[in-house]
Structure 1
Amino acid sequence: MDDNSSKSDVQKAEDLKIQANDAFKANKFAQAIDLYSQAIELNSSNAVYWANRAFAHTKLEEYGSAVQDATKAIEVDPKYSKGYYRRGAAYLAMGKFKEALKDFQQVKRICPNDPDATRKLKECEKAVQKIRFEEAISVGHTETRSIADSIDYHTIEVEPQYTGARIDGDAVTLDFVKQMLDDFKKQKCIHKRYAFQIVLQARDLFRSMPSLVDVNVPNSGHFTVCGDVHGQFFDLLNIFELNGLPSEENPYLFNGDFVDRGSFSLEVILTLFAFKCLYPRAMYLARGNHESKSMNKIYGFEGEVKSKLNDTFIELFAEVFCCLPLAHVINNKVFVVHGGLFSVDGVKLSDIRAIDRFREPPEEGLMCEILWSDPQPQLGRGPSKRGVGLSFGADVTKRFLQDNNLELLVRSHEVKDEGYEIEHDGKLITVFSAPNYCDQMGNKGAFIRFTAPELKPDIVTFSAVPHPDVKPMAYANNFLRMFQ
């Protein structure tokens, strides 16, 4: 008799858990989820399997699924502290500090003498107190003042000892940008006068653009679409090495999530904004879900800006991110958006053009779904594994494209092993441009080159390049780092 067939389901489930744990340690989180799922099928009354799968979901930023699994672990065993711990960590990653606090309080009740639980509870209490304080002082501000309108970069003096890149006058030049990139490679920051100039000029350009931007590529011309970069500046430079610097003849669209997680987010955003100032018609930028105050507060951009520049820039970037367009259409054929499609059928391009985007992302509606949604293999629509937005099937993609006379949907927002994935009968491509994401995922990066008039996607993949010894999440919320 085969040895495996003689084992009980409980024993088989334990074997699968061991394999899943090994996959997790090797950063193969999707494989770990699959193995934990098999273990759960054999023995669904083991809270450990649910909690472990929740942790793997957290690593893939599938926080909605993590909350569901951790809740199931708690239902199976209400005294299992790891269930509350995993759910609290997932809530924390979603910026839901108050819900996280309740779970860590429960961990403390179950394990009153655990010093780790005590430390994390204290950090969570501090985070919630800070949020309450910020909410209290923001009450009564009926009109939002513009920080940008209060800054005049012309009045900022550049000290004689400053040796970095300089802008003479009001125009960003290619020589300046190249010098700035060299400074960034050496981990030097540009003077705040020039940083203000770049960000303010980029803001003026974004404010003048519609929420849905039409991109026209002339016949025989090409156009490159990149996905998430997430503060991986040295990989961004590698894209330019492989595909050429942005120029009028070599235009780019970067499809959101420029910042957070990677610890060179300021260098990335200043580079992209500088190229926008230099070539307004050859550098397009779309907002991602990480171009928001709540994400930047948790995942590192706010801390990085504070460390490298000052608090005024934190407010300024938050304001400029609210000016970024939400979607692009290339030659009336290719629809490009950071996240995905919508919870209702019948959404037209005119509806997207009509979105009032000058705000922090809402928790529901078209703007939220554009930034957060993901494709799913099943038809129809389903709940989001992230806990925000939704999942949509091939039929939803097909109807949206048909309704708007489009041929292809390109989106980003998800790590892919090969840097890209083609789904939904070839009608949807995910492109992700941050290789070896967070220095641990081992994925490739990719970008897509389109040549007019056919606009057939030519996908180029690439591997990560070395970067200075600054770890991802180095500037992230202290509390969040405790769970990495």
Structure 2
Amino acid sequence: MKPFLLLLLFCSCLSIYSQDFNDIDLKEIPKEIEDINSLILKEPTADNYYLRGYYYYQIKNYPKAIADYDKAISLNPNNYKFYYSKGNTSIKIKNFKQAMDCYTKCISLNSTIAKAYFNRAYSKSMVNDAKGAIDDYSKSISVNPKYVQAYENRGMLKRQLNLHREAIQDFDKVIEINPEFTEAYQNRAFSKAILSINAKSDFDKVVSLSPEDPEAYYNRAIYFINFKIKGDYCSDLKKAKELHFDPAIELIDKYCKH
């Protein structure tokens, strides 16, 4: 069996959650930092350092954000939010070991935060601990059974480990919760195809949900070609080319009559 000529990038669907604050106008942050600097001189509390850390995080000054979170933690080591936010910031600078430690501490203080398990799972996946990540995604799901992205990410990792039947079950759950989740249909289609299960309806669904995505047409064409499925794959390849997806050009020359 020929491999797919194109797969979705593994990390393309993985995501983490940002910190839980209301939206703020970034243009106002320098003034907010000035104000909090003055406030800290009078009231150097953990919450004030934490707030300034959040402002630094928003303007992508991650080293200063972490320094402020560390100060907040030194003043109040029992607030799970401080560790959670430091973990998020650690991911931004790709310090995944530090991030995992932060989420572990967060969870030890509050075991009901599904996002902490989720983000720790993401961090584990970034250091190639797929099995550990799957375990944490399962824990996040146990806290929040409708956690769509946790099912999706867990399914992708299972697919990476060639656990395609289990992966399909996760993608099934994503689609049950959110029938418009395009990536779940795409990922389920790949796993079905590898198991020689008819995946045409899933590839069709991806095209219907993302009609302006050239990869949707390209992947469906590759499925038709590789698995000798009857279908107008040349039209799909030409549509992908029309949408400026250059890899389709070579296949049109090879498989399609002009």
> Shorter-chain TM-score category?
0.3 to 0.5
With a CA cutoff of 8 Å and minimum separation of 6, indicate the structure with the bigger relative contact order. Answer: 1
Q: Identify the structure with the greater helix proportion.
A: 2
TM-score (norm 1): 0.25
Q: Identify the structure with the greater strand proportion.
A: 1
